[in-house]
Amino acid sequence: MIDNFGRKIDYIRISVTDRCNLRCVYCMPEEGVETLMHRDILTFDEIIRVCRVLATQGLKKVKITGGEPLVRRGVANLIKQIKDVDGIESVTITTNGVLLAEQYQNLVGAGVDSITVSLDTTDREKYAQITRRDEFVNVINGIKYAQKQGKVRLKINTVPMNASKEDILSLVEFARDYDTDVRFIEVMPIGAGVDCDSFTEDDFKKIIEEKYGPLTFCSEVRGNGPSVHYSLEGFKGKIGFISAVSHKFCDSCNRVRLTADGYLKTCLQFEAGVHIAGCLRSGKTDKELLDVLLQGIAQKPKSHKFDQKDNLENRELRNMSQIGG
C-alpha cells in the first residue's frame, strides 16, 4: 500500500485491549479512563480478518499492543493465527512486562518474533511513582527470565521522565551482557503526555557517552520503524533512540494503527482514519472491507505537528493507552 505522500505502508500496530494493569503518568490519568464494553472490542477473528485483507495489499509486520496486551486472554493464540496469515513476516508484541514471566513460554510457542518491554527506571520507588503501581519486581523478574531463556529477541523501551543520570545509565546496563536493545523514547505530547517534560535524544546521548564512550551508528535494521541504533564498546545489545519530537521521522512513516474498538488510525497525533467495526459486523465482503481500509489510509496526514502546541485542529483526544503507542 502506498499512501498519498508516496510512503509504503507495511506495518500495523493493533491494540487488543484498552485495559491496563498500570497507570503510567504520561499515558493515563490516575483514575484510569472509561473502558470499552466487551462487545465493542474487536474479536480475534475480526482482527485476523483485517490482517488477512491488508496482507493482500502488502502488509508484512504486525505489532500487538494495548492497553496492556497480556491482560487479554488468549493473546498468544492470536499471535499464532496472525503468523499463519499469508504475507505476514513478523508479529511482535509490546508489554509492560508485569505478566511476562508467566506468559513468556506461551508467546514463544506462538512464534512471536520479538518482545518489547516498557521500563522507565530501575528504581523500585520511582517505578511506583511513574506507574502508580508496585509491580517493579514482577517486571524485572520477567526481563531477567526472558534474557536467560533467550528464545526470542527482547527489547526494552524506556521513556525516562524526571530521571537522574544514574537512572539512564542503569537502564543502559540491560544491553551489556545480553543482546537486548535498550531504546530511549522522547515523551510525545499526546493524552496525559501533553503535560510531561521530556529528555531529548541529545540529552540521552550526552549522559551515555560521558560514562560509556562514543556511541557508534549502526546501519543494521533492528525493528519495524523509526528507532536509530548505536553500538557501545563491550555491549552485546544496541542502544536505540526513538525521537519523534526532536528528530521527526514522518517522511518514512510506514505504519497505521488499529484501536481495540476498530478505529483505523493513520497518525499518532491526529484523529484521521476510519471506523471499521461497523463494516466488519455488517456482512460486508472482503473487497468492501478493503475499500474502507484504503479510504482510511488515504487520510494519512503528511506529518505530525508536535511543535505547534496551539494547533488543536483534528487533534487526537485519546490517551496513549487507547491507541497503543
Contact positions toward ligand SF4, by CB under 6 A? 20, 22-24, 27-28, 66-68, 96, 118, 320-321
292 CB-near residues (< 8 Å, 6+ apart) = 274, 276, 279, 284
Say which entry of ligand SF4, ligand SAM, none residue 95 contacts (CB below 5 to 8 A, set by partner kind).
Answer: ligand SAM
- Give the Cα-Cα-Cα angle 88, 90, 93 (nearest 5 degrees): 125
Residue 185 binds ligand SAM, judged by CB under 6 A: yes
Query: Would you state the torsion angle of the CA atoms of residues 223, 225, 228, 230, taken in this order, to the nearest 10 degrees?
Result: 0
3-state percent breakdown (helix, strand, coil) of the chain, nearest 5: 35, 20, 50
Nearer to ligand SAM, 212 or 306 (CB): 306
Which of 27, 51, 36 shows the shortest CA–CA distance to 258? 51
Residue 157 binds which entry of ligand SAM, ligand SF4, none, CB below 5-8 Å type-dependent: ligand SAM
Name which of 28 and 82 has its Cβ closer to ligand SF4.
28
Give dist(CA 267, CA 269) in Å, integer: 6
Q: Look at residue 28 and give the partner it binds from ligand SF4, ligand SAM, none, a contact being a CB closer than 5 to 8 Å depending on partner kind.
A: ligand SF4
End-to-end CA distance of the chain: 22
Helix (H, G, I), strand (E, B) or coil at 157: strand
Q: Applying CB under 6 A, which of residues 3, 11, 26, 103 lies at the interface with ligand SAM?
A: 26
Give the x-and-dash track for 101-120 against ligand SAM (CB under 6 A). Answer: -----------------x--
Q: Residues in contact with ligand SAM, total (CB under 6 A)?
A: 21
Selected from 100, 187, 250, 274, the binder of ligand SAM by CB under 6 A is 187
CB 93 within 8 A of CB 64: yes
23 binds, among ligand SAM, ligand SF4, none (CB under 5 to 8 A by kind): ligand SF4
Name which of 301, 309, 305 is nearest 4 in CA terms.
301
DSSP structure class, residue 224: S
Which of residues 55, 208, 289, 320 is near ligand SAM by CB under 6 A? 320
Q: Nearer Cβ to ligand SAM, position 262 or 325?
A: 325
* Per CB under 6 A, 180 contacts ligand SAM: no
Give yes or no for residue 321 binding ligand SAM (CB under 6 A).
Answer: yes
Sequence-distant (≥ 6) Cβ neighbours of residue 314 within 8 angstroms: 270, 271, 272
Strand partners, 42: none
Q: For the stretch 98-107, what's the b/e string if a residue is b when 16 or more beta carbons lie within 10 angstroms of its beta carbon?
A: bbbbebbebb
One of 17, 81, 95, 266 touching ligand SAM (CB under 6 A): 95
Rank residues 28 and 163 by Cβ distance to ligand SF4 and give the closer one: 28
**Residue (92 or 96) nearer to ligand SF4, CB:** 96
What span, in angstroms and rounded, lies between the C-alpha atoms of 41 and 22?
20
Segment contacting ligand SAM (CB under 6 A): 40-48, 125-133, 182-190, 204-212?
A: 182-190
The cell numbers describing 233, all together, are 564498546
Are the CB atoms for 316 and 271 separated by under 8 Å?
Answer: yes
Q: Is 223 in the site for ligand SAM (CB under 6 A)?
A: no
Applying CB under 6 A, does 171 fall inside the site for ligand SAM?
no
Q: What is the DSSP letter of 187?
A: P
Residue from 59, 188, 215, 274 in contact with ligand SAM (CB under 6 A): 188
Judged by the rule CB under 6 A, the positions of this chain that interact with ligand SAM are: 20, 26-27, 65-66, 68, 94-96, 118, 157, 159, 185, 187-188, 190, 193, 320-321, 324-325
